[in-house]
Amino acid sequence: MLSIRNLHAEVEGKQILKGINLEINRGEIHAIMGPNGSGKSSLASVLAGRENYTVTQGEIIFEGQDLLEMAPEVRAREGIFLAFQYPVEIPGVSNITFLKTAVNEMRAYKGLPPMEARDFLKYTKEKQQLVSFDANLMNRSLNEGFSGGEKKRNEILQLAMLEPKLSILDETDSGLDIDALRIVSNGVNKLRNSDNAFVMITHYQRLLEYIVPDFVHVLYNGQIVKTGTKELALELEEKGYDWLKEAYHLKESV
């Protein structure tokens, strides 16, 4: 589904990603872990098409197409979804209007007519239940005054409604209490199937207890320095990142 090959990217002239290679197939869940500043969120930003990132080398092929050539909205319509680490507040745009616009833009891209108001309402209600999203938040301005947990749940609600092929969850677990984490994880588990794929960016092993990954990658200094299975996450929880950093620097200095 997604092939990242030798990806180098910089932001404001600073090299952040230094040769990422990653293959993601449908039905898979990948976890990306790593210490602060290792480039995890930058990778998510590059995938979603944030404009201040410049790809200097390498390529990203998504479903046989060059992802880097696409505008952010085209990537979204092709099936890439980024759950933001810090969802943006947009006063004056109601959550429901926003969702309706997004859903209908996606449909238009697929050549489908806009959803009837009644169908849309039904569809929304169904998805809302999936992530236990408070219906009262639907008519409020987008994310404005939402609690941290409400914002994250809103991200997963959007994920549910837009039905992407590849979802990237950028530290969706940060700032969530245990109940909210369970709700969000349950939502993701219900949404996963053999056709879609997930990339979870996280600091903590905790999330991976709820959403079990097929692969765990450790990102350090803009590169994937180790890949393993969920056991690797446990090992990291126990030993921290220092042993990997040391190994990396040892290799670098040779």
Partner 1 sequence: MTNEVTTPFYNYIVDGFPGFLDATPGNFLPLREEAFTRFKTLGLPTTKAEDWRYTNVQLFLKDPFTFSPVAGTVTETQLAPASIVGLDAYRVVLVNGHFQENLSTLPAIKGVTIEPLAAAATRPLVQEHLGQHIHLQDQPFAALNTALFTGGLFIEVAANVIVDKPIYLLNVYTTTHKNAFIQPRNLWIIHTNAALEIVESVLDLSDNGIVLVNGVTETIVKENAEFSHYNLQMAAKDGRYIHYTATEQEQYSRYHHFNFTLPAASFTRNNLSVALHGNYTESNMLGLYVANDAQHVDNHTFVDHLRPNCNSNELYKGVLLDSAKAVFTGRIHVNQIAQKTNAFQQNSNLLLSDKADINSQPQLEIYADDVKCSHGFTVGQFNQEALFYLRSRGIGEEAARNMLVGAFAYDITDQVKIPAVQDYIISHIEESIVIN
Residues at the contact surface with partner 1, assessed by CB under 8 A: 48-51, 71-73, 75-77, 81-82, 84, 87-88, 90-93, 97-98, 101-102, 105-106, 109, 141, 158, 162
CA dihedral sign, ordered 156, 162, 164, 168: negative
**Shortest separation between residue 180's beta carbon and partner 1, angstroms:** 21
* Total residues belonging to the chain: 254
**Shortest separation between residue 13's beta carbon and partner 1, angstroms:** 18
Which residue, 58 or 79, is less far from partner 1 as judged by CB? Answer: 79
* The Cα angle at residue 56 between residues 55 and 62, in degrees rounded to 5: 45
**Shortest separation between residue 73's beta carbon and partner 1, angstroms:** 4
Q: How far apart are CA 106 and CA 108, in angstroms?
A: 5
Which residue, 88 or 178, is less far from partner 1 as judged by CB? Answer: 88
**Shortest separation between residue 108's beta carbon and partner 1, angstroms:** 9
Alpha-carbon separation of residue 132 from 99, 163, 178, 186, 194 (angstroms): 17, 17, 15, 10, 24
Listing DSSP states for 40-69 in one string gives HHHHHHHHHT-TTEEEEEEEEEETTEEGGG
For 83, list phi and psi in degrees, rounded to 5. Answer: -85, 115
Which residue, 154 or 202, is less far from partner 1 as judged by CB? Answer: 154
Q: How far apart are CA 232 and CA 215, in angstroms?
A: 9
Q: What is the gyration radius of the CA atoms in the chain, in angstroms?
A: 18
Which residue, 141 or 174, is less far from partner 1 as judged by CB? Answer: 141
* Nearest Cα to Cα of residue 184 among 67, 44, 45, 87: 87
**Shortest separation between residue 80's beta carbon and partner 1, angstroms:** 8
Which residue, 102 or 234, is less far from partner 1 as judged by CB? Answer: 102
Which residue, 40 or 77, is less far from partner 1 as judged by CB? Answer: 77
**Shortest separation between residue 61's beta carbon and partner 1, angstroms:** 19
Which residue, 162 or 236, is less far from partner 1 as judged by CB? Answer: 162
**Shortest separation between residue 83's beta carbon and partner 1, angstroms:** 10
Q: How far apart are CA 191 and CA 193, in angstroms?
A: 6
For 170, list phi and psi in degrees, rounded to 5. Answer: -90, 100
